[in-house]
Amino acid sequence: MSKDLDSFITGLPKAELHLHIEGSLEPELMFALARRNKVDIPFASVEDVRAAYQFSNLQDFLDIYYAGAQVLREAEDFRDLASAYFARAAADNVRHAEIFFDPQTHTDRGIPFDVVMEGLLSGMAEAEQAGVTSKLILCFLRHLDEEAALATFKQAEKWLDRIAGVGLDSSEMGHPPAKFARVFAAAGEAGLKRVAHAGEEGPPAYVWEALDLLKVDRLDHGNRAMEDAALVQRLAEEQMTLTVCPLSNLKLCVVKDLAQHPIDAMLEAGLAATINSDDPAYFGGYVAENYRAVAKARGLSRGQIAQLARNSFTGSFLSEAEKAAHISALDSYVKAAG
């Protein structure tokens, strides 16, 4: 990749729509929090943690992801986690981020829901003062049952004015979206946006379920939708935003090589695809690195790269006026960059 294209990507105004805040826990911070909170972790060094980040599938990743989350105990920890992510996002010229959090990962080990919220909101407020706006999306863990999700949603009631939407993550295979139809209906009735992971490891049928049963406003991943021509046509017609995560796809073997990644095929099919980092501490790069990696592997043009960034704003849950302001800034940047 040329230095010109590299700097173009770094400076490009962009939003990030698929980021698990717990998945931005870098080994250095994990160790610092383990010491601060006197938590034993199954690694002797930062190098041991990085060596463990060699996964062959989603479940292998999730096992270490949940182990790492054990160090998050106090509101201060969640604030530090968020602040570290936003600093890296700002360096990539992310202007707005819509971040996932997994309250069940914490409440199931005795951490109060309020502690998680207070810490994350504190980090988000600091980031906004520094110029990066953000929204929170509460994710339900799909390997647990819907009753657990409904209980979590009940815990969230006092915070719903600070939560933009709900999502669905964790192990996809064997846990179809239909399993969570009631809690998603409740979230819709409460006025929240709805998103769901579908079509990462799961089949196109899971994407159909997310659309028809969960009534999602945005689709997370969606790679395997490309296997179903009728589904692709529907996603294009509805301009359903797809939050695609290239380095995650590579690390979790969704694609064998980024040279086989479908991102440009998605654009050519008229899909509103975006680029995101998913769990960047575990998958080898934050959002700009995801742009660079897939741009190099697929030979993306500046026009395609700019379209991906434009889609990230149009697919956000910002107001129409806020979207327009960001897109105007993006267009000005692209024009000035020649």
**Does residue 165 carry a pLDDT above 70?**
yes
pTM of the shown model: 0.96
Identified catalytic residue from 22, 26, 98, 200: 200
Question: Is 20 marked within a binding site?
Answer: yes
* Residue range of the domain that includes 260: 3-337
**Taking the chain, what is the end-to-end CA distance rounded to the nearest angstrom?**
17
Question: Among 61-75, 117-131, 135-149, 268-282, which stretch is predicted with the lowest mean pLDDT?
Answer: 61-75
- CATH number of domain containing 190: 3.20.20.140
Question: Is 18 marked within a binding site?
Answer: yes
Please tell me the predicted confidence (pLDDT) of residue 1.
Answer: 60
Sign of CA dihedral 68, 74, 77, 78: positive
Question: Is 326 marked within a binding site?
Answer: no
Per-residue pLDDT tens over the stretch 117-161: 999 999 999 999 999 999 999 999 999 999 999 999 999 999 999
Question: Among 23-32, 92-101, 181-190, 212-221, which stretch is predicted with the lowest mean pLDDT?
Answer: 23-32
200, 273, 206, 276: which is closest to 241 by C-alpha? Answer: 273
DSSP state of 217: S
172 a catalytic residue: no
Question: Is 279 marked within a binding site?
Answer: yes
Interior/surface letters 62-90, b for 16+ CB within 10 angstroms, e for the rest? bebbbebbbbbbebbbbbbbbbbbbebbe
State how many domains the chain has.
1
